[in-house]
Chains A and B, each alone.
Chain A
């Protein structure tokens, strides 16, 4: 046992030396995660606010100006200016300068005065669907409430008594993340994505390279057992994965003010299980892939893409088609994102998240077992 440990340590320190000689690999593992974190935390968000808007006031009366003022004072629309004609609006849409246009045709004030419905048109740019959807919703809300205000004011002037003139007012509360900061939402999931990429891709590529260069055979001549070799090879990457996780968590907590509401111990325990599951996936790839290029692409295919898209880290899983929802259970990212986000944001712990941890544990065991079977088959 003692001798085995010494041999493992020797392999691990050898691997570390390789890493040190290759600063680019080290940079990939240590700097890329931070770069990703900064990009995601600063650059990326789904928050649609200040939609660039242009208005065209063909009526040009006090009433039309008052109506358009409601868009100017809404924080959703950012009224950049007025257009002179419809052709100019077309041009602004084609050049991607505006996403929404409000057109008040002439006769707006006259219609209102004579007690008719005054027509207005709102155009949104469907080539940016999120802002178009929300633009549609907010424009509808704004118009409905303006419509109501006009009617109530009119009734008042006529001396009519409205039986139920009260108004329902939505009061919005956002739980867990009251300022709706994207970074709070993304960082706990990003940790998971980065670990997936670092561990799976790097273990797969490292082991395949070893085999291609034939140093693997030299090793087997030495008293080293295969299991010891693997553990030694993987140890540095495991440690680096934990270092990454720690760095991301600390940057998240200190720089971005990410709350940590749940139990650190539970998070740490789950992370260990998760890293083992990810290592297992990397081992399977390395056992199956005949060349480095293939290992690389397979890694991209089953580590990066599912972690990025099927883990729920940025894209909600509820709205995807059912077959893909089932598929998402086949990758460990999904469970870990739920755990990480639950612990950081919701203050959840073992009692809420044990099903995820149980699933992850089973997953890790199955994957590690499968990889050792595949390796045994290969070496025969």
Chain B
């Protein structure tokens, strides 16, 4: 094993990357663009939903209800149609996503001690908005009910419940705070797979692989020299993402650097191993690229970094545990958001190590065998 020869291969690999100036620039722009997209789009909190209020009662109560909706911050009242039939076209054109219908006689029913139904119409073609808005509507109405009882002077004497709801770990409830730690791992996987998978195929395609082995370079030297540049690139990409996350998106960092570095380092080995395996199993670069798409999509969707694993059907939950990304996301969230400390992260670290040993090990053995042929 000669350090000099390894350095030469690393140098050669960098030269090759530099030959396509657009590619090198993209390698650094890509993670930032992804971060901005995911940071702003996926973690946009549902607020200010366009709402229409049909007030058929025109009473003190109906005005109060309207005011509670508009002051909640979740609903922005855009229209006051005079009848329910006008709602359909508004929703068809997508101008409103929620409607509140206060029927005639609401105040009279309340005065008579009856139950007064109020219609809440949500646009089900957007399931996230529909789920969130029905939750908020329930809260607003229940609070108004309790308020009305209080105002009758009962509260001073009557017993009641004083509930304090407290949000742990992420009190401002910003989605970005939990999205970006997961993104660091996802972007690492995406970009390393995209470049690494091409590395060996390209040489095979152009026939330079055989030329390489006419020279005194050994297989281990070749492998180390081949992988090192991509490890370095991945490290730079990861640091970029983490820095932009902490400084631009102001994601609080509650953990320690060592936990994150250890977890990401182990995860990176797994991803590089995967990339090498794809590269070995493909005959052309196009094939390699398609294989990456195949691996990437299910991993992204099932790792729980965008879509919560809890809302998946129970039969699929075991599948999510076979994906290394799931564990990396768990680990990073634990470290960033919860600051749980090394002790609580041991299971994640162990699983990630197991993945790394198995996948990277297989990749190295397979590469050596392939190179020996």
| Interfacial residues, chain A to chain B (CB-CB below 8 A) | 22, 24-25, 28, 32, 35-36, 39-40, 42-52, 67, 76, 93-96, 99, 111-134, 136-148, 150-152, 154-155, 160, 162-178, 180-182, 184-186, 197, 205-206, 209, 289-294, 296-298, 300-301, 305-306, 309-310, 314-316, 318-321, 324, 338, 341-342, 345-346, 348, 352
Instruction: Select from chain A the residue with minimum beta-carbon distance to B141.
Output: A170
A149: min CB distance to chain B, Å: 9
9 residue pairs bridging A and B, Cβ less than 8 Å apart: A32-B297, A124-B165, A128-B310, A129-B170, A131-B310, A144-B146, A148-B146, A173-B120, A316-B46
Top 6 nearest A-B pairs (CB, nearest first) are: A126-B170, A177-B124, A166-B110, A144-B142, A143-B163, A174-B124
Select one of B131, B150, B164 contacting A134, CB under 8 A: B131
| B168 and A93 contact, CB distance less than 8 A | yes
| A139 and B302 contact, CB distance less than 8 A | no
- State in angstroms the CA–CA spacing of A145 and B146 once bound together: 6
| A45 and B161 contact, CB distance less than 8 A | no
- State in angstroms the CA–CA spacing of A142 and B112 once bound together: 24
| B338 and A24 contact, CB distance less than 8 A | no
CB-defined interface of B112-143 with A at 8 Å, one 1/0 digit per residue? 11111111111111111111101111110111
Is B149 part of the contact surface with A, judged by Cβ < 8 Å? Answer: yes
Select one of A36, A95, A146, A151 contacting B158, CB under 8 A: A151
| B20 and A291 contact, CB distance less than 8 A | yes
Is B361 part of the contact surface with A, judged by Cβ < 8 Å? Answer: no
Is B373 part of the contact surface with A, judged by Cβ < 8 Å? Answer: no
Q: Which of B90-98, B238-246, B265-273 interfaces with chain A?
A: B90-98
Known contacts A127-B170, A132-B170; A168/B145 CB under 8 A: yes
- State in angstroms the CA–CA spacing of A151 and B97 once bound together: 35
- State in angstroms the CA–CA spacing of A42 and B316 once bound together: 9
Is B285 part of the contact surface with A, judged by Cβ < 8 Å? Answer: yes
| B313 and A42 contact, CB distance less than 8 A | yes
| A43 and B316 contact, CB distance less than 8 A | yes
Select one of A133, A150, A174 contacting B161, CB under 8 A: A150
A300: min CB distance to chain B, Å: 7
A128-B178, A316-B46 are known; give 11 further A-B pairs, CB within 8 A.
Answer: A24-B282, A118-B160, A121-B166, A124-B168, A142-B142, A145-B142, A147-B146, A151-B154, A173-B120, A318-B48, A319-B47
A264: min CB distance to chain B, Å: 18
Best-buried of B29, B158, B167, B282 by chain A (most CB within 10 Å): B158
| A117 and B307 contact, CB distance less than 8 A | no
Tell me which residues across on chain A come within 8 A of B128, comparing CB atoms. Answer: 46, 130, 314-316
Best-buried of A133, A142, A154, A348 by chain B (most CB within 10 Å): A133
| B26 and A341 contact, CB distance less than 8 A | no
Is B312 part of the contact surface with A, judged by Cβ < 8 Å? Answer: yes
| A163 and B152 contact, CB distance less than 8 A | yes
Known contacts A133-B173, A144-B142, A352-B93; A47/B127 CB under 8 A: yes
Known contacts A169-B115, A185-B125, A341-B125; A39/B297 CB under 8 A: yes
- State in angstroms the CA–CA spacing of A40 and B306 once bound together: 12
Is B258 part of the contact surface with A, judged by Cβ < 8 Å? Answer: no
- State in angstroms the CA–CA spacing of A209 and B262 once bound together: 39
| A120 and B125 contact, CB distance less than 8 A | no
Instruction: Select from chain B the residue with minimum beta-carbon distance to A181.
Output: B127
A74: min CB distance to chain B, Å: 10
Select one of A116, A165, A314, A341 contacting B159, CB under 8 A: A116
Is B209 part of the contact surface with A, judged by Cβ < 8 Å? Answer: no
| A168 and B144 contact, CB distance less than 8 A | yes
Q: Which of B5-13, B35-43, B217-225, B351-359 interfaces with chain A?
A: B35-43
Tell me which residues across on chain B come within 8 A of A112, comparing CB atoms. Answer: 159
| A292 and B163 contact, CB distance less than 8 A | no
| A205 and B159 contact, CB distance less than 8 A | no
Tell me which residues across on chain B come within 8 A of A141, comparing CB atoms. Answer: 135, 138-139, 141-143
Tell me which residues across on chain B come within 8 A of A96, comparing CB atoms. Answer: 330
| B23 and A168 contact, CB distance less than 8 A | no
- State in angstroms the CA–CA spacing of A52 and B311 once bound together: 11
| B155 and A151 contact, CB distance less than 8 A | yes
Known contacts A52-B310, A125-B168, A125-B169; A118/B159 CB under 8 A: yes
| A294 and B158 contact, CB distance less than 8 A | no
Interface of chain B, main secondary structure: helix
| B310 and A296 contact, CB distance less than 8 A | no
CB-defined interface of B68-86 with A at 8 Å, one 1/0 digit per residue? 0000000000000000000
Interface size for B (C-beta < 8 A) is: 124
Instruction: Select from chain B the residue with minimum beta-carbon distance to A124.
Output: B167
Known contacts A120-B162, A126-B171, A319-B48; A169/B117 CB under 8 A: yes
Tell me which residues across on chain B come within 8 A of A142, comparing CB atoms. Answer: 142
Tell me which residues across on chain B come within 8 A of A163, comparing CB atoms. Answer: 111, 152
Known contacts A132-B173, A141-B139, A164-B152; A67/B161 CB under 8 A: yes
- State in angstroms the CA–CA spacing of A91 and B165 once bound together: 19
Select one of A67, A118, A130 contacting B308, CB under 8 A: A130
Is B287 part of the contact surface with A, judged by Cβ < 8 Å? Answer: yes
A-facing residues in B305-338 (Cβ within 8 Å): 307-308, 310-313, 316, 330, 333-334, 337-338
A190: min CB distance to chain B, Å: 11
| B33 and A305 contact, CB distance less than 8 A | yes
Is B194 part of the contact surface with A, judged by Cβ < 8 Å? Answer: yes
Known contacts A132-B173, A167-B115; A24/B178 CB under 8 A: no
B315: min CB distance to chain A, Å: 9
| B122 and A174 contact, CB distance less than 8 A | yes
Tell me which residues across on chain A come within 8 A of B137, comparing CB atoms. Answer: 170, 172
| B127 and A180 contact, CB distance less than 8 A | yes
| B123 and A175 contact, CB distance less than 8 A | yes
Is B208 part of the contact surface with A, judged by Cβ < 8 Å? Answer: no
| B113 and A171 contact, CB distance less than 8 A | no
Q: Which of B229-237, B288-296, B362-370 interfaces with chain A?
A: B288-296
Instruction: Select from chain A the residue with minimum beta-carbon distance to B158.
Output: A151
Select one of B40, B122, B307, B330 contacting A175, CB under 8 A: B122
| A309 and B37 contact, CB distance less than 8 A | yes
Is B30 part of the contact surface with A, judged by Cβ < 8 Å? Answer: yes
- State in angstroms the CA–CA spacing of A306 and B41 once bound together: 10
Known contacts A147-B146, A180-B124, A315-B42; A294/B297 CB under 8 A: no
